[in-house]
Structure 1
Amino acid sequence: MRSLVLSLALLVLGGCMNVSDMGDGVQYHMSDAGLLDHSETRRSMSLRLQPDSFIYIGQGAFMPPGGSYPRPNVVAEVAFKGFVEYFPMVRRARGPLGLEQALEEARSVGAHYLLYTRFAKADDRIGNGDEWYDEQAVDRLGIDTGTIQLMLIETSTRYLIDTTTIRSRGGLLTFHDNKPEDLLGPPLEDYARSLLGMSR
């Protein structure tokens, strides 16, 4: 009798919502509870760009505090991967640049916008046996966190279109072998979609 009631309840719930919506809901609640990776994005403005906008992506040479040393151009690399699906005309700098140099390079290739990024904070906690062997500190066990900052600048006028802060943290089920830079992909892709006015 109990299995019949459960089956009927699942059928009723299944009729109300499709499988992808149920999956999104479960993922949202699990990340909010700290089991999966989670990120929070705060934008200063919600302006939209045209899909044919030419965006040049650069990263500052700033090394984040927090005892972690991510690859020097990793934010620009991950942002490029997230943006290229939504903005066909996108390029990135080969290495870290100062803001003036990034603007100059963006103008020289004819880009409409410069997306200037930096890793503001990174905390790479112990997440595998090798890291434990290196550090052997119980207070360093745990979940990685990171904060990146983005500035979207119109190259012709130097007008600041948008400033964004993305805070990310790992999850209890996903922290093994992760680093703060491994958390950047999904929120940067979401940011690219938001610039086009697209929801997830």
Structure 2
Amino acid sequence: MFTSPGVQFERIKQSPKIWVPLTIISILYAIGMAFMALSLDAATLIAQGVPEDQVDLVLTITKVTVLVTGIITPIIGVLVSSAIQIAIVKIASSTVSFKQLLSMNTFIMIIGAAGLILNMGIRYAIGGDPEIYITSLAGLLNQDKAGVLGSIEVFGIWSAILTALGLHKTAQISKGLAWTIAVIFFVVSIGFALVGTLLQGAPKL
């Protein structure tokens, strides 16, 4: 996926593989999330509004939640994205199977896993808010919160490009439709970040 994604997508079209790649991806995500958990400290939570007398309990719960999320996230992510994509490409009369798209999205997630490990490894080494990726605009501009700029990130853009290429190669749809789907997915991720930012900034009752 890093050097010859086009060749890999052709292989996926001919012989889609899921379980071994998904297991590897889940392990990589768990490693990345472990770095994130280790990067969390009491000061970060207090800055986010957690009362000092509750910070130790919240920190422990947060670390466990982060680790569990690292294992579940890839599985849910590939299932949801593949389900949405199969619905769209079938309208375009594509003959691609759900298994092929599931395999394609699983392989693409190696990019996200690499980004997670790199960013969390750096955060663990140098400190700072683990929610802000070094490779994002938020990290580049040294923002205090991730927000929308946190969603505009090198590995996220890379994954979007591979999604477009993968849909064109694996699902055999037009480049225009493939890019449209990839861009929509990317914009939706930014939209979720925007909603999260607005909710964080909303007045508390």
Shorter-chain TM range is 0.3 to 0.5
Structure (1/2) with the larger strand percentage: 1
Query: TM-score with structure 2 length normalisation?
Result: 0.32
Query: TM-score with structure 1 length normalisation?
Result: 0.33
**Structure of larger gyration radius:** 1
